[in-house]
Structure 1
Amino acid sequence: METNQYLELFIDESNEHLQSINDRLLELEKNPEDLTIVSEIFRSAHTLKGMAATMGYQDLANLTHQMENVLDGVRNEKIYVDSEMVDIVFDSMDDLEAMVLDISQGGAGERDVTKVVELLQAIELGEELGQKQKGLSSVEKAQTDRIMQIDEFTRTVLEQSKEQGLFNYSINVTLREDCMLKAARVYMVFEVLEQMGEVVVAQPSVEELENENFEDNFMVLFVSAQTSEETKAKIMKVSEIEAVDISNYQLSDKSVQQGSAEKNEISEDAGTSREKEEALPNNKQTANKTIRVNIDRLDILMNLFEELVIDRGRLEQISDELQHSDLQETVERMSRVSGDLQNIILTMRMVPIEQVFNRFPRMVRQLSRDLNKKIDLKIIGEDTELDRTVIDEIGDPLVHLIRNAIDHGIESPDEREMNGKQATGSIELKAYHSGNHVIIDITDDGGGINRDKVLQKALDNHVVTEEQAEKLSDPEVYELIMSSGFSTADTISDVSGRGVGLDVVKNTIESLGGTITINSQLSQGSVFSIQLPLTLSIISVMLVEVQKEKYAIPLSSIIETAIINKSDILRAHNKEVIDFRGSVVPLVFLKNVLEVPDELDEDGYYSIVMVRKGNKMAGLVVDSFIGQQEVVLKSLGEYLSGVFAISGATILGDGQVALILDVNALIK
């Protein structure tokens, strides 16, 4: 079998299953008696094993099978869940993730897992084998694992069919373990059934069956005039069917299938939603409406649209110059349509920040154990969406901030209790939208930042002078911890304390067009707040002119524009400043910074663009304002990547190139 064409799909789905197992394991450790969680983990592991075996990655399949045996023991109450058992399963997860990573990099997914396999086998054999479900056939076992629930609507359908002389069947279909396309087999079974009667309820739900979110068997309630022997014979004609068990469905007082001795209710409530019960395979609208698209294709689509945006700007300019009514009307319509298209394309690139957040619960669990601290991690707003480019870059900065909060922020349990706090510290990771930005807050209830200690360290390291230190506000002092090589840690640990990390965090966030601010209260905790743009490709800017050159300033950094008289300019510390709403704001003359040739006579006033970066402001002095515009941000390439105060370029409607200013660099 040629598997190369399925490799990308295999890697994507494997990572999804591995992440699901990681998340569920953390839940299981907190609720070791909840067997529904075990069933979900087992289902993901079983699917992963089947996928790996089909693709020929035997080491991956074998390790998953060994982990599956342990989970099966837990599910059958033969193995008790404790932290040591979860640790070993997590170790096996590390190996599985390493194998998938190797496969994604072109490897064969081979790895020496002898040690972890021995540990898993020890868990499996170290418990007394229970007798529960012993001796049952696979079909009987599947039936006792599940209870078919129905609601009043379904009960009425079954009662009416019985009055009409039809048979109500409970059908349990078991697929072969090596079945590769389970959803296709399910679909074929439903096709056969619909030729003979009507499927009333499916369990798991139709959606889960289509997504192959089940093990080897599924159940349906089926109404037909055919005998059970005829029905079974026709189902068995579908290939890769292991067994079919059919019995007459008897309506009990509790609407629960008789003979189901187990109390393991399924995690999805298949009987309380009329929509799910009516979602039969012949209703085409229930089909999965999502497809996987390679990110490279989306990048190509975005690049093509960026060219369209440039041409749109050119057409708008030509239309204004010619003042032709039909042309203007057509261009206006094209602008509206391309605007809608822009929103759709940008939305296609948006992914939930959950992809970044879901790695942190396990990391916090491990770090808290390594540091002997008790920490409760709360995640809010994980469904907030960001551009894929931003998502790819923001992971490492968040890792640094959370590790920093655990090591420096949260105190030890004894110290917290001495200070009247709960022994368990709290870290909250929250994401939410604010205008065209996404805000990510990392909040802890630890010891906070010691202002005096930070300031003294900054003076010792010559980061600031005595004169500067006296004028710094609290937020400005806190920002000093993000200086290069700065650390207030008394000891260096494996987690942090070497003075590397926060400066990288700051640089990475600023390279994405974002900002980071810090608020803290001693003994109460700290908040690190990150502001990020929704997308990096198409941005809104203010076009300005400096002499005969045009520049673009991102609107996200602009407070307002103003025109001032030269007589309003003051001097302080050998710098030209202005009084802006009671604050002293320095002026930055762009013609001097950018070394623009001075060709025009100066008037008696200045055009000012007031910009902000965190708590700092500056007034950019320009010659004139052109107006607001949406532009495509283009990189200058590696050769020009180090140009001061320039973050990129764009092509305007008249074909001219306008450089996009880096406001953060100018304010520095």
Structure 2
Amino acid sequence: MEMNQYLEVFIEESKEHLQACNEQLLELEKNPEDIKIVNEIFRSAHTLKGMSATMGYEDLANLTHQMENVLDAIRNQKIKVNAEILDVVFLAVDDLEAMVLSIAEGGDGKRDVSAAVSKLKLIEKGQSPIQFETKTETAAALAGPSPAMKSTYDEFEWTVIQQSKEQGFETYEITIALRGDCLLKAARVYMVFEVLEKIGEVIKSTPSVEQLEEEQFDQEFSVTIVTHEPKEDVEQKLLKVSEVEKAKVSSLLLEELRQHEQETETEAVSSSSEAETLLAENQPKHEKKAQAAKQTSNKTIRVNIERLDILMNLFEELVIDRGRLEQISRELNNQELHETVEHMSRISGDLQNIILNMRMVPIETVFNRFPRMVRQLARDLNKKINLEIIGADTELDRTVIDEIGDPLVHLIRNALDHGVETPEVRKANGKNEEGNVILKAYHSGNHVFIEIADDGSGINKEKVISKAIKKGIITEQTASVLSDKQAYDLIFASGFSTAEKISDVSGRGVGLDVVKNTIESLGGSVTIDSKVGQGSIFSIQLPLTLSIISVMLVEIEEEKYAIPLSSIIETAIIKKGDIMRAHNQKVIDFRGKVVPLLSLKDIFDIPSDQQESEFLSVVIVRKGDKMAGLVVDSFIGQQEVVLKSLGNYLTNVFAISGATILGDGQVALIADCNALIK
């Protein structure tokens, strides 16, 4: 077997073992006395240690060995499992995952794991890992900013700092630490920079701004700023930013800076010499590893999402031309042309599936972060919560995956904070002390459904309505006729919150309106079902892809409109005499249900000289459990079309989600059924 095959197997198996460790550690927390679970984790760690040592990744092998020692002590009942110990083992697994990721990307797998190793050694000796944290923090306070976090400056930055000093500005190096449970680190970084830019000029950040935006840092980062503000004021303003745990501001002295720059240059030359010597001594081994990493990366390539977007746009143009060719073929009635176009349609259909599949990503890439998040939040809230994930292999378009993460975080935090009760309350209500949260994804037609269900206290309709009236969202007259689901929808209103006490988890009166807006901007919808005392279900409906959709083309006067097939139940021809009126609205009896009729001619203000015929063509559409009948002149047929936006000048057109170019060059507007059904 070639070296590259060994490396590929090592990376894949390491990921599997680490995923198993994560899952089994969460199980161990629920069943701390179960030695079988400890044995499973030990086996995964032992295998990973052996593989790492064989491949020459010493940092990985050493950390796994130390983790293995702790697990061995647990299974031999020398140490008793508790949350404190599991926190450290989770930290070690995070380090291992980072090293394996580095190797998979062609790196050397090296990482500073001294903090995790020291804590594991204390646990092995039967001591508390908190002792290590206290010592480390004291030493860090005495030593000042760590060399790793100190910034180095280029000539331009050095000149700016010097000139600022001459003009009476202060230069500060600020080390900022976010809380360990901070979930949206990039958002906090943005807020920190917003504060700093109001009081001065940011000269440099370590890591870089790009890395901070992509959350490529642990919890700490440093920023250099020039300002007139006193040091204490800068610190106080930064500490007001939510989830900023520490803001250490130190003045940058020119003498220290010069000395630091000289030391950095010396270290760089020394490190470079050592690296060259080491490379010369171990040339064959290094060549093999580099070649193996290179060959492994050839089997799978990382493609910028922008390139896939360009490919998709080109294919969309091809779909438009395909429609045009199909129409020409029908008009000319040439057999050879007809066969060629038919063959091209099949080929382009296969190509379409391949391009769409290239953009499809399993939703587990989003779901995988939630078990650890729920564990931490449950501890912060002093609640016992079991998270069950179903359908993590369900696939979604990459653009949808990128956007859906934050809304799901909000909904899960909301379920934990507002939904699931504390163990004492659950016990008093005759429930199991441990609450259940189910995160489920599944396909249905051209849609993906994601459900977040909890068995908590449910939504109190009266409390919601009372708060909505108080906030001026609805009037008392409107409140009296609201159904349960309409009342639940009020929690999506901007600034709405029923929380009596504001917490760090949720209840700040923001979040759920953003959730709804984000989901609807993706062409989806969110609904709520709840029973007081039994729990709630938030159901999200999303399209599989956002660019090519199947529609029913209809005609109104001489204009063509497209209605998405995903919204259509069926089409029907009805007699004018079957139309009834209820609450000043035209309605029909559709299979035992009263369905309102909407005339697209009236809604889109299409001029007409024709008189209505005895029979009407109706498209029955739905949004959740609501239905409506759209009256049109005639049906043209089903077609796959490319969804194009209306541009920046037509952003607020009612009930139109976009447009498409048909085969004959005409533009057809795409009706937004979600906006039509209220």
Please indicate the TM-score interval, normalised by the length of the shorter structure.
0.5 to 0.7
Residue 583 (1) aligns with residue 636 (2): no
2:350 is paired with a residue whose SS is helix
CA change 1:358–1:472 in 2 (3 A) is: same
2:640 partner amino acid: E
For 1:544, the aligned partner's letter is: V
What amino acid is the match of 1:337? I
Q: Does residue 364 of the first structure (1) align with residue 366 of the second (2)?
A: no
**SS state of the match for residue 422, structure 1?**
coil
Determine whether 1:111 maps to 2:221. yes
- The one-letter amino acid of 1:427's match is V
Query: Which of 523, 537, 550 is matched with 1:540 structurally?
Result: 550
Partner of 2:501: 491
- Mapped partners of 2:396, 2:133: distance in 1: 33
**How far apart are residue 181 of structure 1 and its match?**
11
Deviations 1:187-228 (A, max 9, x none): 97xxxxxxxxxxxxxxxxxxxxx679xxxxxxxxxxxxxxxx
Identify the match of residue 408 of structure 2 among 398, 405, 409.
398
What per-residue deviation string (whole Å, max 9, x for no partner) do you get for residues 618-666 of structure 1?
Answer: 1111111111100011111222122111111111000111111111111
Matched, 1:66 2:76: no
Q: Tell me which residue corresponds to 1:431.
A: 441
Amino acid at match of 1:103: Q
Q: How does 1:233-248 map to 2 (within 5 A)?
A: none
Deviation at 1:47, TM superposition (A): 4.9
Specify the alignment match of 2:487 in structure 1. 477
- Asked whether the 8 Å contact 2:554–2:633 carries over to 1, the reply is yes
How far the C-alpha of 1:502 sits from its partner, in A, is: 2.0
CA distance in 2, matches of 1:356, 1:605: 50
- C-alpha displacement at 1:332, in angstroms? 0.8
Structure 2 counterpart of 1:327, from 337, 356, 360: 337
- Quick one: which amino acid aligns to residue 111 of structure 1? F
Tell me how far apart the structure 1 counterparts of residues 494 and 283 of structure 2 sit (CA, whole Å).
Answer: 53
Match of 2:450 among 428, 440, 448: 440
Using the alignment, how far apart are the partners of 1:364 and 1:181 within structure 2? 47
How far did 1:354 drift?
A: 1.5
User: 1:521-540 to 2 correspondence within 5 Å?
Assistant: 521-540=531-550
Q: Whose helix proportion is higher, 1 or 2?
A: 2
Measured after TM superposition, the shift of residue 92 of structure 1 is: 7.6
What amino acid is the match of 2:494? Answer: S
- Name the TM-score, length of structure 2 as normaliser: 0.64
Match of 1:185 among 265, 271, 288: 288
Are positions 1:384 and 2:409 aligned together? Answer: no
> What is the TM-score when the length of structure 1 is the normalising length?
0.65
Q: Which residue of the partner structure matches residue 561 of structure 2?
A: 551
> Which residue matches 2:97?
44
Matched ranges for 1:111-130 at <5 A: 111-112=221-222
**Which residue of 633, 637, 640 maps to 2:647?**
637
Is the CA contact (8 Å cut-off) linking 2:99 and 2:110 kept in structure 1? no
Q: Distance in 2 between matches of 1:180 and 1:505?
A: 54
Root-mean-square deviation (Å): 4.3
The residue aligned with 2:328 is 318
Structure 1 stretch 412-421 or stretch 596-605: which is displaced more? 596-605
Provide the secondary structure at the position in 2 that maps to 1:644.
coil
Q: Matches of 1:599 and 1:426 in 2, distance apart?
A: 61
Q: Distance in 1 between matches of 2:359 and 2:517?
A: 24
- When residues 187 and 107 of structure 1 are mapped into structure 2, their CA distance, relative to the original with a 3 A threshold, is closer
Q: Give the percent of matched residue pairs that are identical in Structure 1 and Structure 2.
A: 60
Cα deviation for residue 307 of structure 1 reads 0.7
Number of the residue aligned with 1:339: 349
Matched residues in 2 for 1:387 and 1:357: separation? 15
Query: Is residue 2:299 matched to residue 1:289?
Result: yes
Aligned length: 496
> Relative to structure 1, is the Cα distance of residues 54 and 287 closer, same or farther in structure 2, using a 3 angstrom cutoff?
closer
Distance change >3 Å, CA 586–CA 177, structure 1 → 2: farther
CA shift, 1:299, in A, is: 0.8
Deviation at 1:362?
A: 3.0
Structure 1 residue 350 displacement after superposition: 0.3
Q: CA deviation at 1:515?
A: 2.0
C-alpha contact (below 8 Å) 1:45/1:68 kept by paired residues: no
Q: Are the equivalent residues in 1 in contact too, given 2:106–2:293 (CA < 8 A)?
A: no
Partner deviation per Cα, 1:73-124 (whole Å, 9 max, x = no partner)? 48x94587879989999978979987587437599979359x999xxxxxxx
Native 8 Å contact 1:50 1:180 kept in 2: no
- Other-structure match for 2:258: none
Distance 2:397 2:215 in 1: 29
Alpha-carbon distance in 1 for matches of 2:497, 2:671: 32
Distance in 2 (CA, whole Å) between partners of 1:586 and 1:534 is: 29
Which consecutive unaligned segments of at least 5 residues does structure 2 have?
A: 1-10, 30-37, 46-62, 65-92, 138-177, 187-206, 224-243, 247-277
SS class of match (1:432): strand
- In the alignment, which residue of structure 1 is the partner of 2:463? 453
